[in-house]
Amino acid sequence: MGKFEEIINAEEPVLVDFYADWCSPCKAMAPELVKLAGKVKGKAKVIKVDVDKNPEAAVRFQIRGIPTLILFKKGHIRWRQSGMMNAEQLENAIVQNLL
């Protein structure tokens, strides 16, 4: 998990979307994540992790349902939520949990 570890342990906050290609709510959230990435550019990073291709990450972070979003700062979980959210809700979660 080298690259993933590097990303979540970085100084810059990272919102990780744990998803799967077959998940309809995950597909519906994709445009919201793109919007969010544009809004928080330079302040936080947004990445996606496919739970089917990265089962060790899913087990490590106890992903029981998808989409699950986890906000990391220097490797620590600052916020976690399962289910669909829009870009504005996600941006608020980032701001409330990091500033």
Cα separation, 91 vs 98, whole angstroms: 11
Instruction: Establish whether 26 is a catalytic residue.
Output: yes
- Of 15, 16, 26, 36, catalytic: 26
**Which position among 23, 37, 47, 84 bears the catalytic label?**
23
The number of CA neighbours under 13 Å toward the Cβ of 18 is: 25
Q: CA-CA distance, 11 to 62, in Å (whole number)?
A: 24
Cα distance between residue 7 and residue 11, in whole Å: 9
Active site includes 23? Answer: yes
**Residue 1: DSSP 8-state:** -
Which residues are designated catalytic? 23, 26
